[in-house]
Structure 1
Amino acid sequence: MVIVTGAARGIGRATAVEFAEAGATVVGADRDVEALEAVEELALRLGGDVGDTDDAHAIIDDTLAAFGRLDVLVNNAGVWVLKPTAEITPEEWDDQLSTNLRSFFLLIRRAYPALAEAGGNVVNVASIAAMRFTTPHVAYASAKAGVIAMTRDLAAEYGPDVRVNAVAPGPIDTMHLTASMTPEEKADFGRRYPLGRMGEPEDVAHAIVFLASPKAAYITGATLPVTGGTELGVPSLF
């Protein structure tokens, strides 16, 4: 039994589909409930704002009411504001931290008893932006750095009951990053990095499903870069 937030598109959708293809029952949560309808592999679709306490709790509670257990929580929902720090409003800062960090805390805290009972685990989606400068988006980078710290702390606190890991995607071909790029621009963009291409959402999904699986049973507190080598001293993203 798996919950994936931000499941309507991109990394979240690819992750939900891969879990379902592996035989899991998958609940998808997203602000855009209409877009969730297109993800046929989902057993249940839930809306709401994951940064809101009541909405976040409802995602966990409704899942448990419907299925009676929870094995894996994938915190993937995120928003991205690309602009210099001087142009970021306090409201945008708050929204970035609410969706990209606060929601992870709310969902994990609510899910912990069920996850502990099932011997389950959490996979958080961080970002390479938490590890190195990529482009001006200080609120996003700060939130994702918090996700990595949260992952370490909760892995230690939750000990043998619940494993907690993270992935840190690099340049992935998703709506947030490449919506305005032509195919030629995307190909040129990818050639700047060691593996010579941009990542696909499925590249990140593979890593998430691995970390959630019994094959990763002795891994906790880790953040796995899924970056194509972006962090190896090559130029910044823009």
Structure 2
Amino acid sequence: MIEPGPAGGEAPVALITGAGRRLGACMARRFHGAGCNVVLHVRNSGPEAAAMAAELNGLRASSALVCQADLLDLSALGNVANEAAGAWGRLDVLVNNASSFYPTPLENVTEGQWEELMGSNLKAPFFLCQAAAPFLRARRGSVVNLIDIHAERGLKGYPVYSIAKAGLAAMTRSLAKELAPDIRVNGVAPGAVLWPEHDMDVAKQAEILSRIPLQRTGEPEDVARAALFLAFEAPYVTGQILSVDGGRSLFS
């Protein structure tokens, strides 16, 4: 369980973007189970997030709420940070998880795809950090960015996504300097943890698995535990990116 911290016995508060489904939902449950109150940001997954908030509030009263916003609308980011910090009077952790992911072969990339992928994976996390910084600074809190092992080695067929995640990795290291000493900023870079929601044939999955030393996919809980560690259990760690990939990034 997480220690409440110097301000008293109240629970720490974690804002998790894209928390309605997949990795975001798993992290929300993990942070909540460790003792946090959680703000579940969603864009389109309102019903799923509402059901999860009801579940979590059933386990511990008044410990979860849903915040619905389009993070590509920069005017909404201040409201998201204010709502998260105002719910329980504090904000201890921002987890930038919300992300768009789909293939963009170079010859077919549109400006709209560029704007969406850069916006969700880089621009929104940057400006949400900006909006949340005063609240996080008051708590000597932390930021955890969900990156990708392909930030280091671009994923063929996904150049815009790979470029955006490389920018997020650079942002993590840069903001670790900008926000020190009051706010720590780190990243988690998952490998093959959940297969993409768009079609990926079995042969392609097998080819990916063949290049993973542990010879299997990871679990969402692997990522959630890493994020929780960086958020609360690594007080002398900042500007680092932890690969959770079964050893995949050891190879080209």
Using structure 1 for the length normalisation, give the TM-score.
0.91
Instruction: Tell me the percent identity.
Output: 40
Asked if 1:194 is matched to 2:207, the reply is: no
Map 1:50-69 to 2 at 5 A.
50-69=71-90
Equivalent runs, 1:1-238 vs 2, <5 Å: 1-32=13-44, 33-39=46-52, 40-41=55-56, 43-174=64-195, 177=196, 180=199, 189-213=208-232, 215-233=233-251
- CA-atom RMSD, angstroms? 1.9
- Distance in 2, Cα, partners of 1:181 & 1:37: 30
Give the C-alpha shift of residue 31 in structure 1.
0.7
Aligned pair count reads 231
Q: C-alpha offsets along residues 153-182 of structure 1, whole Å, 9 cap, x if unaligned?
A: 1111111100000011111215xx155458
Q: Secondary structure at the residue paired with 2:188?
A: strand
AA in 2 matched with 1:229: G
Q: Which amino acid aligns with 1:223?
A: I
C-alpha distance in 2 between matches for 1:9 and 1:186: 22
Give me the whole-angstrom Cα distance separating, in 2, the residues matched to 1:216 and 1:203.
16
Cα deviations across residues 107-129 of structure 1 (Å, max 9, x unaligned)?
Answer: 10011011011010000011111
Contact map agreement 1:193 1:229 (CA 8 A) in 2: yes
| Structure 2 CA distance for aligned equivalents of residues 195 and 83 of structure 1 | 29
Q: Give a deviation string over 1:98-143, Cα, whole Å, max 9, x none.
A: 1111111111001101101101000001111111133311111111
Given that residues 104 and 160 in structure 2 are in contact (C-alpha distance below 8 angstroms), is that contact kept between their aligned partners in structure 1?
Answer: no
Q: Which amino acid aligns with 1:76?
A: N
Distance 2:121 2:154 in 1: 18
SS in 1 for 2:249: coil
- Distance change (3 Å), C-alpha of 1:85 and 1:188: closer
* More moved, 37-46 vs 127-136: 37-46
Contact residue 29 and residue 47 of structure 1 kept, 8 A? yes
Which range moves more in the overlay, 225-234 or 124-133? Answer: 225-234
| Structure 2, gaps ≥5 residues long | 1-12, 57-62
Distance 1:233 1:185 in 2: 17
Gaps of 5+ in 1: none
Distance 2:198 2:119 in 1: 24
1:13 to partner: Cα distance? 0.8
The alpha-carbon distance between structure 1 residues 52 and 59, as it changes in their structure 2 partners (threshold 3 A), is same
SS in 1 for 2:112: helix
Name the SS for the 1:221 alignment partner: coil
